[in-house]
Each structure stands twice: as C-alpha cells, then as structure tokens.
Amino acid sequence: MNVRTGPHTALHTPYLAALASQAEGSSGWLACHAGLLALRLVDQWMGTVGSGAAPAVEQLDAVHEAVDAVEPGPLQLLMQGVVDATLAAWGRANIGLGTALLAYGRRLHHEGAWPLASDVYETFIRYARMVGDDERLPDAYLRLGLAFRRREDLGAALGAYATAGALATAVGDRRVAWLARVGAANVERQRGDPDAAAAALDAVIAEAAPVVGNLPGADDVVARASHDRAIIEIDAGRFEDAVVLLHRALERYTDTRRRQRVLHDLALAFVELGMLDVGRDALQVVSATAEEPYLRLLADSNLMWVAVLAGQETVYERYRRALAEESLTDELAVAYATCVDEAERRFGAAVDIARVMPAWDGAPPPLVAHVANAVREMRAVVPVG
C-alpha cells in the first residue's frame, strides 16, 4: 500500500466545542472526551506511519481510561474499535482503521451528533488520502456534506458535495454523483433559492428514473429527489403537487426509516389539504412506529395540531401533556408553543370550538388508497393501540 504524505493533525474544533458546552463528567462529556482522544490517536498514527514511533504509554492509558468511562453501548464499542484498529495498525498503513472510523462516524450521524460526525468524516478523508483508500472517498464526502448541511455550515456543505460529485463522476459512480447533486440542491433550498433547487432535483429525477431497476440504488435516488422536491412544493403551499411527489417517494423507498419520514410528510400534506382523518391515521402510525425519537415527537406534535384543527380539545390536551414531559428540540419547542397558542385562541372562545377545516375533495383516489395501504402495512408491523 502506498502512503502519501500530508497534514496529520487537526484541531477537532467540533469536539472541543461539544466538550465546552457540557458539564464535565456528564455522560455526553465523557463520550466526547473519549472520542477526541481516539481521534488524536488516529492523528498520531497518521504522523508515524513508516517511522514506527510508538505512542507514549501515558497517552495509551489516557485513551483506554477515557473509552472505559463512556456509558456502555454502541458508541463506546465503536470508539473502542477505532482505538483497537489504530493500535493494530501502528507503524503501517491499514485498511481496517478506515472502516472503524466510518462506522463510528455513522453512529454519531444516526444519533444526530452532526458536528462530531463531520469531524470523524474529515479524519477519515485525511486517512483515506494518505493511504490511498480512494474507493470510499466519494461516499465519505457525501456524508460530510450532509453533516455540514445539518450543522448549517452551508458553504462547507456545498464544497463537500461538489468534491463528492467530482470524485464519483471520475470513477463512474452515478449513484453518488446524483446524490451529491440532490445534497447540493438541498443546500440551495436552505439558502433561499427554491427555484434553483427544484430545477436541480428535476434534472436528477429525469436522469435516474429511466434506469430504476437496472442500476443499483437508482430507485433510492429517485425517491430522495422526489421527497426533497415535494418539500419545495409544500413550502410554496402547492400541496396537491407535493402529494404526487411524496407518493412517488413512498413507492420507491426501500428503507423503513425513510418510508416513515415520507409518510409523515404525506400526512402533513393531507392535513394541509383538509383531509384530517387520512392525515391523522398516517401520523398515528408514524408516532407508534418511528425509529427516530425526533420523528416520533414530530408526529405527536402534529397530531396535537390536527386535534386543534379538528376542534378535539380533549385529544389536544392529551398530546399537550405528553409533549410537555419531553425534552424538545428548538424547532419542536417552537411548534409546540405555536400550537398551544392557537389552541388557547380557539378553545378559549366558546363559539369556534367545533371548527374543522373544510374537507378537500380533489385527491385522486389512488393516492388516498396508497396511503391507506401504507398505513395498514405499517400497522401490521407495529399495531397501533
């Protein structure tokens, strides 16, 4: 394996910022501390490949002690995996270390620790460039783009997506090249240019749709691009168009987590169109089955909203009390406050309590039937009480 030289150290600012924001000794702080020491060990490994200089005993003790102090669970095991792979590879280039870094980054990513995930992915990229593990670089830049986007670092996200696209195109990986364009389109939407985003997503759908079934992953690309395109329609208040796109995404997604997200968005579109019963059914399924805690709470928050729209004060109050016990993100807290404000306005006035949004009768029946099928399918997996 050829080893390229390059910068081996990094500041790991996201880890330092996360440490500074938490109480020393808390479980989050301990996990951050151990992760930082593990990444610094990787940095040191990168600096000593070929030289054989061993890590200091004190440093090793500190890393092991820090990882041991982390709450037992997947994150601790994956951090331990990074440390073990680094030590097993000491003084030589090693493939296993890259895999361990990516698996650790993926876990952080799924836990919503976007700044930390971006730091791990950047560490992987420095590692991969050094040891010539070029194969996984496009995907790593794609993940980095998403992590940057989620932490609202939009310029960095665009840069990462551009690199992912260029690398993927160079090796003929059409799936990653398309997904990089989808990611960049989402950055444009976040920057306030929905027209540019819509045009970019339409172009991806037009290219990928004809090869669904022939190219692995093309169905997922079409689903993701359609889902993101639907969000633009929702933002613009064009709910009928959004329903068509969301329906297409629901049909194409094979990943349960993404199906749950699109079902949630489809439910909201139906609610916006006045079809409260269809929307409520779908939201109840998402609330009962969603693997992501955030999505479950989001569904509950929207069920509370539907109860307000339907004039069901008792149902509204049940959701309100349950959500009041939860730790809500800023976004959910704003939604909660808005809903409570509206509920007080409506239920506080004796006249308007029974107000229900007018029924929308323009939904093409197959779409409604498809949503009903999806709801039944998901109910079968986890029955809703």
Partner 1 sequence: MTDESHQLRVLVVDDEEAIGRALRLLLTRAGYIVDVVRTGAAAEVLLAERHFDCLVLDYRIPDVRGDELYLYAVGAQPHLRGRAVFMTGDITERVHATLDETGCDRMEKPFDVHAMLLAIGRITAGLRQQDAAG
End-to-end Cα distance, the chain: 57
The set of long-range contacts for 227-233, using a CB threshold of 8 Å and a minimum separation of 24, is 227/253, 227/258, 227/261, 227/262, 227/265, 228/182, 228/185, 228/186, 228/189, 228/197, 228/201, 229/198, 229/201, 229/202, 229/205, 230/265, 230/269, 231/189, 231/265, 232/189, 232/194, 232/197, 232/198, 232/201
136 residue type, one letter: R
Cβ proximity to partner 1: between 120 and 343 the closer is 120
Q: Is 331 in the site for partner 1 (CB under 8 A)?
A: no
Site string for partner 1, 205-224 (x = CB under 8 A): -----------xx--x----
Q: Is 189 in the site for partner 1 (CB under 8 A)?
A: no
CB 264 within 8 A of CB 374: no
Nearest 10 degrees: CA dihedral of 370, 371, 374, 375?
Answer: -140
Q: Is 96 in the site for partner 1 (CB under 8 A)?
A: yes
Encode 91-123: b = buried (16+ Cβ within 10 Å), e = exposed.
eebbeebbbbbbbbbebbbeeebbbbbbbbbbb
Min separation Cβ 145 and partner 1, Å: 15
- CA distances (Å), origin 320, targets 93, 236, 341: 55, 28, 12
Q: Is 258 in the site for partner 1 (CB under 8 A)?
A: yes
Residue 296 phi, psi (nearest 5): -60, -45
Instruction: Say how far apart CA 272 and CA 279 lie, in whole Å.
Output: 9
Q: Is 81 in the site for partner 1 (CB under 8 A)?
A: yes
Q: Is 111 in the site for partner 1 (CB under 8 A)?
A: no
Min separation Cβ 99 and partner 1, Å: 5
Cβ proximity to partner 1: between 157 and 221 the closer is 221
Q: Is 256 in the site for partner 1 (CB under 8 A)?
A: yes
Min separation Cβ 348 and partner 1, Å: 42
Q: Is 254 in the site for partner 1 (CB under 8 A)?
A: yes
Min separation Cβ 38 and partner 1, Å: 14
Return the range that interacts with partner 1 (CB under 8 A); candidates 95-103, 152-160, 233-241, 313-321.
95-103
Per rule CB under 8 A, count of chain residues that contact partner 1: 26
Cβ proximity to partner 1: between 4 and 237 the closer is 4
Q: Is 164 in the site for partner 1 (CB under 8 A)?
A: no
Q: Pick one of 34, 41, 78, 147: the residue that binds partner 1 (CB under 8 A).
A: 78
Q: Pick one of 10, 62, 103, 203: the residue that binds partner 1 (CB under 8 A).
A: 103
- Using CB under 8 A as the criterion, which residues of the chain lie in contact with partner 1 when the complex forms? 74-75, 77-78, 81, 95-96, 99-100, 102-103, 106-107, 110, 136, 139, 175, 216-217, 220, 254-258, 291
